Amino acid sequence: MYTKKKKIVITVAVIVILVITVVYFSIGGILVNAKRLGEISGYYTGINLREDGTEIRKDDEDSDVFDYNSCYDLIISSEKKPYLDVYDSEAANPGVRGWIIGLNDNTVTLWLNPLETDFGFVPFTGNSIIPIYKFEYELKQNKIVLSHDGKEIPFRKI
């Protein structure tokens, strides 16, 4: 049974969480390096790798696939509210999608969209109660490698 005092405490807690969220999103733009966001934004597709780490191209007859990543697609958007989206395009499954609230030379921080995120998405599983997710990334010419907890997926810009 909720007492009047409990209702007030719950209402105040919800208001505080909403205010913190609004402030967090407001300062999020400050934490995003706009120049870097412009460099990495675009559409990418996953790259299949052999065991030695070399890329398997579509015209290769060699089928010793070590990491099957071509099912993954990546979108990094530099819109007014920038976002990052990794998904399994072959199965049409959601992966990780969130608004970019922080970006520097090697880390992108997301505020996850719970309606478009599969929290068991492999290889980037997240079991945090807080909807903030960090990827490390490395940019090389037209390629980007996203990694989290030692797991990584290489992508090529298309």
- In the structure, what pLDDT confidence band is assigned to residue 108 with cuts at 50, 70 and 90? very high
Global pTM value: 0.73
Quick one: average pLDDT of 28-33? 66
Give the mean model confidence (pLDDT) for residues 82-104. 88
Cβ-Cβ contacts under 8 Å for 126 (sequence gap 6 or more):
96, 112, 117, 119, 133, 148
Distance CA 68, CA 9 (A): 50
User: Which token pair is 98?
Assistant: 């969130």
Mean local confidence (pLDDT), 130-143: 85
pLDDT of res. 65: 61
| Per-residue pLDDT at 30 | 54
Cα-flanking dihedrals φ and ψ of residue 156, to 5°? Answer: -115, 135
Instruction: Give the model's confidence band at 14: pLDDT under 50 very low, under 70 low, under 90 confident, else very high.
Output: confident
Average pLDDT over residues 38-63: 77
Predicted local confidence at residue 81, as pLDDT: 87
Which one has a higher pLDDT value, 105 or 53? 105
CA dist 93 and 113 (Å) reads 14
- CB-side neighbour CA atoms (13 Å) of 76: 27
Q: Enter the tokens of residue 55.
A: 């890329």
